[in-house]
Amino acid sequence: MFPKTSTPRWIIILIDLLLSAFSLFAAYIVRFDLKADKALWLAEWEILSKSIIIFFVVRFLTFYFFKIHKGMIRHTSTVDFRRLFIAVTTSSVIFFALGLVRYFFVDGYFLFPSSVLIMEYLICVFLVTVSRFTIKLWYLESVKTKEEQVRVLIYGAGISGLIAKRTIERDVLINFKVVGFLDDNRKITGTRIEGVPVFHTASLEQILKDEAITQVIIAIQNPEEENQARVVELCLDAGVEVKKVPSPRSWINGEFSARQIAQVNIEDLLGRKPIVLNQDKIAEELSGKVVLITGAAGSIGSGLVRQVARYNPQLLVLLDQAESPLYELQLEIAQDFPDCAIEIVMGDIRNQSRMEQLFAKFRPAWVFHAAAYKHVPMMEDNPSEAVWTNIKGTSYLVDLAIKFETYKFVMISTDKAVNPTNVMGASKRIAEMVAQQAGSLHKTQFITTRFGNVLGSNGSVIPLFKKQIEQGGPITVTDERVTRFFMTIPEACQLVLDAGVMGNGGEIFVFDMGQSVKIVDLAKNMIRLSGLVLGKDIEIKYTGLRPGEKLYEELLNESENTLPTHHPKILKAKVRDVAPEQASQIEQLIQQVGSIDNMQLVGLMKAIVPEFISNNSEFSALDNN
């Protein structure tokens, strides 16, 4: 066992001087090729004896001056090695200088022959470096935990990967062995970094088997989403644990600790390559403008706030009725964007007079309308609330945007508005129609964005699954056939911004969301990412479709088609115009909400949206008439 107390400083000095003496002796041995006779040694000693004291004094003083003895050898760092190198070099230069003095002013001899001086320098540097490295290695091995060794593969052979390797090897409380690096760059495949081989991701499946890898750590800070997803999938299929190095912003005082290595999120598995936005165009549109964001404390709303704050708006007005989340958002923006002027407004979009006061005071040039009720089962039980907020509230904002000459009004919609099977989806489709009709009649440009489920948003399936996993299960899935489109919050917000910039009014923009995901597969992957085994550690329970719920979602209905835009991932839906009778029916719906029962209310919604066919709901009776 390695001693727990520090070695006395005088012992370190003595060892370094003994290594120096051995270096000098070895240099003489090499000089004479091990063939010198006794007479030659005596002659050489006659010259050396007059300078050996100087050798030890100079070496001691330089080591002492550079504080070689101060560092703890078991924790020797590159800074300590550099100090050692400078100290030995300095003493050798002094030897050479004193040798010149002796040669020209004393007895015509150098302190040491030039060949000896050079060899002693090289040998001494080698010995003091190796001695410290050996002691450090001995210490690290002696304090390593005796638990079974975890064989680790680091994904990313760049700076972050190298930092992860060094951090893992330095942590004495974990018994990890870095077997290799994994990287997408074929040019460095087959090379070694600090003695560790670099493999290409194409050979990952074989490497996991051959090297008996038990954990893969993702160290790339901005990986290609498709490559990362493939790596995670292969690891999960092989039963290998996957973790990742957090963003440097979360490192404590700029230092990364092995304890910060975290579990991979399901978002990392589902993420795709983000949309590349025209930053200059967005900055030109938003900079110096008053921007109103409704539903600012929600998932999409707060994501929009963070994005818009980057573009130096004149004023960012944050509207929501959720007090605590809005307060937390205020603190976050004040910290992350201290130069961004913000105005916090507590209010309900259904309060017409309150909204008029807001528009009259701030006169926003841009409105991003994210406030809405979005939970399908809740709105199926409370249709009047869906109409009040999603339709009537939107109508108030649309009218005020026209009255106060807002430049652009961007409405956030949902894929559930397409061929709706529930009240929530139908209410969002009617809200789309309200904005669509207004855009055809007035100067304000009304633009709609339509996308699927947002990963990690409030009330979405992923936070629910995480909570159920933490509680030991079961995970509840409505039907094993259910599929959904998914996107990340940043992706959704980027779509909204880009649509707002490119839109001229009246458009509905949809996002190419790739392949839909089976919810049951999502649950299984989350179980595996948590290190659990389905059927052993946790179960999946099927509960049946909820009222109004679809097996799958759509982004367009059969009567709509798309037109390309400047970005291949963003399409423009070509939708039907709002007929005069539909506009009249929408006005009737808004006026009668609260005065008629739910069945009559939903009946009016179905008249406005003929494709609204209820699924597994009491309102299905209306479809049989």
Tokens matching residue 389: 């907020």
Q: Which of 416, 550, 569, 606 is catalytic?
A: 416
What is the phi/psi pair of residue 195, to 5°? 85, 0
Tokens matching residue 168: 């893992």
Tokens matching residue 270: 């589902």
Q: How far apart (Å, rounded) are the C-alpha atoms in residues 330 and 561?
A: 41
Q: How far apart (Å, rounded) are the C-alpha atoms in residues 246 and 257?
A: 10
Say which residue the tokens 């039980």 belong to: 381
Determine if residue 572 is left, alpha or beta; phi over 0 gives left, psi from -120 to 50 gives alpha, anything else beta: beta
Nearest Cα to 73, choosing from 133, 33, 27, 16? 133
3-state class of 344 per DSSP?
Answer: strand
Q: How far apart (Å, rounded) are the C-alpha atoms in residues 136 and 327?
A: 51
User: Cβ atoms within 10 A of the Cβ of 535, count?
Assistant: 9
Tokens matching residue 60: 């001691």
Q: How far apart (Å, rounded) are the C-alpha atoms in residues 434 and 392?
A: 9
Say which residue the tokens 């194409």 belong to: 202
3-state class of 406 per DSSP?
Answer: coil
Q: What is the DSSP letter of 481?
A: T
- Rounded to the nearest 10 degrees, how much is the dihedral formed by the CA atoms of 326, 331, 333, 339? 130
What is the phi/psi pair of residue 13, to 5°? -60, -45
Q: Check if 416 is active-site.
A: yes
Q: How far apart (Å, rounded) are the C-alpha atoms in residues 426 and 614?
A: 10
According to DSSP, the β-strands at 483-484 and 517-518 are: antiparallel
Q: How far apart (Å, rounded) are the C-alpha atoms in residues 153 and 176?
A: 10
Q: Which residues does 224 contact at the CB level (< 8 Å), separation at least 6? A: 184, 273
Would you say 498 and 277 are in contact if contact means Cβ atoms under 8 Å apart? yes
Listed in sequence order, the DSSP H helices in 154-308 are: 159-170, 204-210, 225-237, 266-270, 279-286, 299-308
What sign for the dihedral angle of Cα 523, 526, 528, 531? Answer: negative
| DSSP secondary structure, 595-617, as one string | TS-HHHHHHHHHHH-TT---SSS
Side-chain-facing half-sphere of 517: CA atoms under 13 Å? 23
Tokens matching residue 449: 């964005």
3-state class of 477 per DSSP?
Answer: strand
β partners of residue 561: 574
Q: How far apart (Å, rounded) are the C-alpha atoms in residues 528 and 240?
A: 9
Q: Count of H helices and E strands in the chain?
A: 22, 22
Q: What is the DSSP letter of 111?
A: S
Question: Which residues are catalytically annotated?
Answer: 416
